[in-house]
Amino acid sequence: GLDDPQLVAGAIWVTSEVSGATNPGHVRWLLSELDRTTLHLINQLRLPSSTTGATGLVGGPGDLLWEFTAGGLNECNVRQVDIAGNSPSIKTVIHLSGVPCAGATLDREGKYLYVATSQGSSDWIYKLNAHTGADIGRVAFAAPGLGFSMVATSSHLWVAGGPPGANGDLLFFSKT
């Protein structure tokens, strides 16, 4: 199936799992650009393999598109995808080691990329420059469960989640 649709630069971008990975235990992903009115395929980019099925896309103003993948239990890979021109390519790669990716979001202005990593008591939210990927800062937090989503407004970051079928938590952070 197609995952994480993002409307960026007038097109819809999605990820999909590629069947028949050559390495046992690894998952291959495709990043696809679709026409927003017809859903016809325009372009595809084969992404580096990962050891888990966890991947996601975050899109924002202008041509900002970031892909994040859990590289096993001890790594979070965040990749900026260059979608300018005729062929998408990986522009910037950031390795956040120690814990897997758990979620990401861009702020409305497209200035900051927030990436959450989570594994037991090692839960972090990273604040990165949305254009260069430079690490601006990070904060430890108590993750609200296994899966969660994030939304950044002009001055705050909201994180929601919890175990499926149970009450969840809503966390509120100041972006300063």
pLDDT of residue 23 exceeding 90: no
DSSP 47: E
pLDDT of residue 32 exceeding 80: yes
pLDDT tens digits for range 62-89:
778 888 877 666 778 888 888 877 777 8
pLDDT of residue 99 exceeding 80: no
121 or 128: which leads in pLDDT: 128
* Cβ pair 115, 78 in contact under 8 A: yes
Segments of the chain assigned E as strands:
2-8, 11-18, 27-35, 41-50, 55-59, 65-70, 75-82, 89-97, 101-106, 112-117, 124-129, 135-140, 148-152, 156-161, 169-174
Q: What is the pTM of this model?
A: 0.81
Residue 136: per-residue pLDDT: 93
| Selection from 104, 100, 89 nearest residue 53 by Cα | 100
Residue 20: per-residue pLDDT: 58
pLDDT tens digits for range 124-176:
889 999 988 999 998 888 766 656 788 888 888 988 877 767 777 888 888 76
pLDDT of residue 52 exceeding 60: no
| Selection from 136, 96, 93, 90 nearest residue 113 by Cα | 136
pLDDT of residue 115 exceeding 80: yes
Residue 144: per-residue pLDDT: 63
Mean pLDDT for 113-123 is 79
pLDDT tens digits for range 1-14:
677 788 888 889 88
Mean pLDDT for 41-48 is 84
